Structure 1
Amino acid sequence: MRLITSATLLALATMAASAASAQDISAGERSWNKCRACHQIGEGAKNLVGPQLNGLFGRHTGAVEGYSYSSANKGANITWDEAVFAEYIKDPKAKIPGTKMVFAGIKNDKEIADLTAFLKQFDKDGKKL
């Protein structure tokens, strides 16, 4: 009986650890509040101070039609994926020196993962996947 109890406790602890490290879209949406002053996302999103972020992952820097990018951003030749975004959002000016983005960054890896999960919900047309 003790072996079953230990195994059960181990399984529960493993499940709890996995849930704690999983991406949380709701938390990512709350983190999105730091971005929304300059960016839009979703159906009908428009460029503001920064470009709209629909379909961000998989697109190249400087690719949003109608947005006036810095030459640094246009010339960065980066394709956005989770790793590149995580590095960028921690310190935008370090990743792309000369970017127009004025943002101190998000340093917390969990918050970045949650924000990434929120952003990844939206396809290039702003529809939730």
Structure 2
Amino acid sequence: MGDRFNTAAGWALFAGIIALGGAIVSSKFFHEERPEKMGYAIEGVEAEGAGAAASGPGLNTLLASADVAAGEKVFAKCAACHTANQGGANGIGPNLYATVGEAIGQGKGGFAFSEALKSKGGNWTFEALDHWLTSPREFAPGTKMTFAGLGNPVDRANVIAWLNAQGSNLPLPAADAAPAAGGDNAAPTTAANAASNAAAPAEKAPGK
């Protein structure tokens, strides 16, 4: 009985040594480099919050043509943390009724705002809301808000217009004036023509 046990133990020890040696040898042949960025990106989250500046209409123009109904659909992304009805309860985030125009980080039924927002100062203007919705972490570093942000400026304008309709009802700005025809090249061209005309010799009058 003892011999059989010793034999089994010996084979088990031998197998362990072989496995360890194989692991060491294989590590010499197969070396996986550590990726520069660990994990993987979730499509539509961090990309939305990037908030990269994009060419296109300004905020005033987008607000002037904002779609309030579309803004309500965008707000669905926020409904897990916020309510926006009059008298609505605070949740993970504060109730947002009549937020546009209010002081930043104040009121809202005693909601515990982060120090980052309470110390921000100023009011929730259209511009401040646009900045906040682009990237809460850039607007108020240290905020408790974990939402990455909305990268689409049309979505931001629509949801701002919808929030404004929930008890604030501030007048939306007029669209930005369209740039003059010819842009910046018009003035230099006109100046060049004037200089050319001044340098040209005057035409003699008839009979002179």
1:69-88 equivalent positions in 2, closer than 5 A: 69-88=113-132
Bigger Rg, which one = 2
TM-score, with structure 2 as normaliser: 0.48
Higher relative contact order (CA 8 A, sep 6+): 1
Report how many aligned residue pairs link the two structures: 106
Alignment of 1:32-47 (within 5 A): 32-47=75-90
Once the two structures are superposed, the pairs formed by residues 1-129 of structure 1 within 5 Å of their partners are 22-63=65-106, 64-123=108-167
Structure 2 unaligned spans of 5+: 1-60, 169-208
**C-alpha displacement of 1:43:** 2.5
Q: Percent identity?
A: 32
SS of equivalent residue, structure 2 residue 78: coil
**Distance (Å, rounded) in 1 between the aligned partners of 2:122 and 2:93:** 17
SS where residue 29 of structure 1 aligns?
Answer: helix
Q: Which runs of 4+ in 1 moved over 2 A?
A: none
Q: CA RMSD, aligned part only? A: 1.8
Give the letter aligned to residue 98 of structure 1.
Answer: G
Offset, 1:72: 1.0
Q: Structure 1: state its 5+ residue gaps.
A: 1-17, 125-129
Measured after TM superposition, the shift of residue 44 of structure 1 is 3.0
Paired position in structure 2 for 1:15: none
